[in-house]
Structures are given as structure tokens and as C-alpha cells.
Amino acid sequence: MSAYAPPTTLSPSRIDSFLSCPLAFRFSSLDGLFDPPTEATVRGTMVHQALEYFYDSPNTERSEDQLHSAVDKMIGDYETDDDIIFLGLTGDKYDKLGNECRKLALNALEMEDPKQVNPVGLELRIEATFGEVTLRGIIDRLERDSEGRLVITDYKTGRAPGPSFEKKALAGVHFYALLCQREFEEDAAELRLMYVKSSQTITSRPSSKTISFTEQRLTAVHQAISQACESGQFATRKSALCNYCTFQQWCPEFGGDPNVALVEAPRRAQHS
């Protein structure tokens, strides 16, 4: 009997989680242990929401004033959000967080001409089945460029990667290109990562070859996860990410016992 039932659905973030560290993936995705939000993750979610409100307005209305209105609306929405309360980001701290989000959203505005953006979908949920696995994703912004071609944009509020890590950073949007190809029967012309903190954009041009490679990659990762589920063996992968890992005290790399986590660690449901 398998230790865990293999997942039938995956998302780019879960794939990245497994590839970064299979044991942390097990704790978070299969054991359902609580992986708490951080100020950085909440800030990212809030900026995404503000930009969604902004780009949902007609092209002609997209001005700096309109962006401030979108940020104000978002700030109103999130004031009593569970994650904000959990992190104690209320009062002055919430004002500071709101100002940081406003600055990041304004940076995004300066990186492109918002009146030229023609969205097809914002925070677009999209899924398709490939063999035994359904791939699900949420595309921040799918648009048509001036020549009518599809462009996929992903906003990032963290630090931009150095040149040698750009390919890894683009892996998630290549899965979105695969989903678009299946949904619209059309290859996206460009993939874009917009790092709004440093005003940097990383782009890639997908092709039939990269889309086919991404599908093979999806199948290979799903097989690797299924094998780990079957055997119950989830390897550790020590890296700089361990410094931020919620599960470090139960990790064998740090003298912990993963089975103890099942008894000691809080479950997600206790906090949701």
C-alpha cells in the first residue's frame, strides 16, 4: 500500500516546492502542516490585488490617480484579512505595509505604458489534463500585444534573480505557456516576469520545443512525486531556503524527526 495517494493535480508552485525540497513538499502539501504566511507573501498578494483592480479598468482611465484608487480599494479589502491579523500587521504596521504596496504598484506603472496593455484575463484560472495529472495555474495577466499575440505576465515583488538563475525563475511561466497552448491552441509570443521592486523585467520567448519540453517535465515531476508517495521516501534538499523553512525543527538535516512533525506541528485547518 502507498504511503500517500499520488496527487492528481499540480500547480507550478507545488512543482517548484517539490523540486526545491521533497520533504518540505510532503509536510506542506501531503501532511497538511501549517506553513504560515509571512509579511513578504502578504505584501505580494496585496500588490497583485491592486494591479488586478487597476488593469480591470478601461485603458483610457489608467492613470496614476486611478492606480491610487486601486491601491486604496485593496487596502480597504485587506485590513481585516486573516493573514494580516495572524501576523499582527494592524494599526501603524498596516499603514506602513499599505505604503510599501503603493510604492511597488507605482513602480509597476512606470515599467510600461498601462494604456497599451490589453488584458484577455486577470488572475486567470486555467487548467488542463496531461495524462494522469491535471495542471492548474492562475495567470496574473494574459494579454494581446499590438500584433494580437498572447503575452503572459507574472508580477514579482521579491528580489530579481541574478543572470544564472533567470532560467529557473522562468520555469513557472513556461507551465502557463503550456496551459495557454492547450486552452487557446496558440503559442504565447512572450513570457514576462515583472520584478516591481527593482523595476526589472525578464522575458522569454516560448516555442513548440520549449512547450513540448515543459509537458515532458510535468510528466517527469509527477512520476517522481508518485514514486515518493508510493515509497514514503521524501528526500531532503539542503539549500539557502532552509533558513526560511517552517519545518526545520523536524528535518533530519537539522537533527529532527519528520514523524514527530505529524504529532507536534500545527495543521493548516487549525489556522484557516
- Residues near ligand SF4 (CB under 6 A) are 21, 23-24, 236-238, 241-242, 245, 247-248, 251, 253-254
The nearest distance, CB 215 to ligand SF4, in angstroms, is 27
Classified as helix, coil or strand, 76 is helix
CB of 32 to ligand SF4, least distance (A): 15
With vertex at residue 54, the alpha carbon angle to CA 65 and CA 183, rounded to the nearest 5 degrees, is 160
51/245 with CB nearer ligand SF4:
245
Using CA atoms, how far apart are residues 99 and 107, in angstroms rounded to an integer?
12
Given the complex with ligand SF4, which of 35 and 154 has the nearer CB atom?
35
Which of 184, 254 has the CB closer to ligand SF4?
Answer: 254
CB of 165 to ligand SF4, least distance (A): 17
Q: Which is nearer to ligand SF4, 172 or 258 (by Cβ)? A: 258
To the nearest whole angstrom, how small is the minimum distance from the Cβ of residue 238 to ligand SF4?
5
**Residue 68 corresponds to which cell in the numbers above?**
491610487
Closer to ligand SF4 by Cβ: residue 20 or 134: 20
Please tell me the chain's helix, strand, coil percentages from 3-state DSSP, rounded to the nearest 5. Answer: 55, 15, 30
Q: How far is CA 212 from CA 21, 36, 145, 173, in A?
A: 25, 35, 24, 14
Number of H helices, E strands in the chain: 10, 6
Q: Which is nearer to ligand SF4, 41 or 69 (CB)?
A: 41
Residue 242: CB minimum distance to ligand SF4, A: 3
Main-chain phi, psi angles of 122, to 5 degrees: -120, 135
Smallest separation (angstroms) from ligand SF4 to the CB of 183 = 33
Beta carbons of 227 and 2 less than 8 angstroms apart: no
